[in-house]
């Protein structure tokens, strides 16, 4: 009689532990205004997370996906997109995109079978593109069903260093553009309907981030690699591309080969870009030289992501600190003065306005 009783106690104990791990706290973001922060977490630790900062109350809710669902988000969150009542969170090392209800953050489905997804861009309700670090191409998926429907080949297994990895996705006219970051030098031009690469632009070593300005010009920032990089090491650049000819119009080379460059973004009015190069700089899209004075000084921060609120023109920036412990979200006025700062998750790498 003692053995069955012991087993019953063990089973009840395990059930209790599982229930505790899956405890949920209802989330209701209806009519709230704020900012989501995508926190990468530590590689292979499975501690990626979402933070939500209410810009009216200045309150932050960390681990909000875990609170809403009782399960962790995954391993290495990369980016997110909000579209028609859904939130799409791209989880790099888990190889999935989580699809959430935008008001409750309840997990509705996952887009699976991806290699190392990075960003998602929507064509319509039944077609979206997902870039990938190691798949050497771009996945085509149906957001409604969560199923893969195609693949645009960008590189082959015979190419070194997994070239061409695909990163940001920008649609200009009938062309899709993607920057190839890791050990690469290209921006690829894709015909999305024909599902093939039709051109490429060599911009410099490791184009890290990419945006389009209000004139339809394409901007990318290269990080130049690093000492000992098998693909080389050079000074970082800020490059402007004319999509009409797929050629480089302007090239701004940074003086410091060791400059820690990061994300670039467009100002709310669309006439300037903001970019990270140790400090944060602001520059007219028509500038002929790089700015010499920072817009927001670095101080002791490690800037990771940057975005501009299209409604208030305020600037939001994340500080990754040491990439091991919790980072911070900073909120600045349009003039660069600090409004607020809050602690978020580990390695905050993305900002989305809600």
Element (H, E) at 341: strand 338-346
Percent of the chain with pLDDT over 90: 91
What is the predicted pLDDT for the residue at 157? 87
> Which DSSP string corresponds to 119-175?
EEEEEETTEEEEEESSSSEEEEEETTTTEEEEEEE---TTSGGGPSP---EEEETTE
Q: How many other C-beta atoms lie within 10 A of the C-beta of residue 288?
A: 7
> Which DSSP string corresponds to 30-58?
TT--EEEEEE--STTTT--EEEEEETTTT
What is the predicted pLDDT for the residue at 230? 92
Residues 194, 200, 305, 302: is their CA dihedral positive or negative? positive
* pLDDT, tens only, 99-142: 999 999 999 999 999 999 999 999 999 999 999 999 999 999 99
* Average pLDDT over all residues of the chain: 93
* pLDDT, tens only, 166-198: 999 999 999 999 999 999 999 999 999 999 999
Q: How far is CA 80 from CA 86, 102, 291, 350, in A?
A: 10, 12, 30, 7
Give the mean pLDDT of 264-272: 95
* pLDDT, tens only, 6-54: 444 444 444 444 444 568 999 999 999 999 999 999 999 999 999 999 9
* pLDDT, tens only, 213-256: 999 999 999 999 999 999 999 999 999 999 999 999 999 999 99
């Amino acid at each position: 009689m003692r053995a069955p009783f012991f087993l019953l106690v063990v089973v009840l104990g395990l059930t209790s532990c599982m229930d505790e791990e899956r405890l949920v706290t209802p989330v209701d973001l209806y009519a709230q205004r704020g900012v989501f922060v995508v926190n990468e977490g530590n590689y292979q630790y499975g501690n990626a997370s979402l933070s939500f900062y209410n810009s009216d109350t200045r309150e932050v809710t960390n681990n909000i996906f875990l609170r809403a669902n009782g399960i962790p988000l995954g391993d290495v969150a990369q980016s997110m997109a909000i579209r028609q009542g859904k939130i799409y969170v791209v989880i790099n090392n888990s190889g999935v995109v989580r699809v959430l209800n935008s008001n409750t953050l309840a997990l509705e489905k996952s887009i699976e079978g991806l290699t190392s997804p990075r960003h998602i861009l929507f064509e319509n309700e039944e077609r979206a593109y997902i870039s990938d670090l190691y798949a050497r191409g771009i996945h085509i998926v149906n957001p409604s069903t969560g199923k893969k429907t195609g693949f645009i080949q960008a590189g082959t297994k015979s190419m070194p260093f997994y070239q061409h990895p695909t990163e940001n996705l920008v649609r200009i006219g009938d062309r899709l553009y993607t920057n190839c970051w890791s050990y690469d030098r290209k921006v690829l031009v894709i015909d999305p309907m024909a599902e093939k690469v039709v051109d490429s632009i060599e911009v410099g070593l490791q184009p890290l981030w990419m945006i389009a300005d209000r004139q339809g010009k394409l901007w990318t920032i290269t990080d130049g690699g690093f000492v000992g990089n098998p693909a080389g090491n050079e000074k970082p650049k800020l490059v402007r591309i004319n999509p009409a000819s797929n050629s480089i119009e302007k090239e701004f080379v940074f003086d410091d080969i060791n400059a820690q460059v990061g994300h670039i973004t467009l100002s709310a009015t669309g006439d300037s870009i903001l970019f990270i190069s140790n400090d944060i700089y602001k520059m007219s899209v028509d500038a002929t030289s790089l700015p010499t004075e920072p817009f927001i000084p670095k101080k002791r921060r490690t800037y990771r992501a940057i975005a501009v609120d299209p409604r208030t023109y305020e600037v939001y920036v994340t500080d990754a600190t040491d990439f091991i412990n919790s980072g911070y979200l900073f909120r600045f006025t349009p003039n660069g003065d600090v409004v607020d700062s809050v602690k978020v998750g580990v390695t905050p790498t993305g900002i989305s306005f809600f």
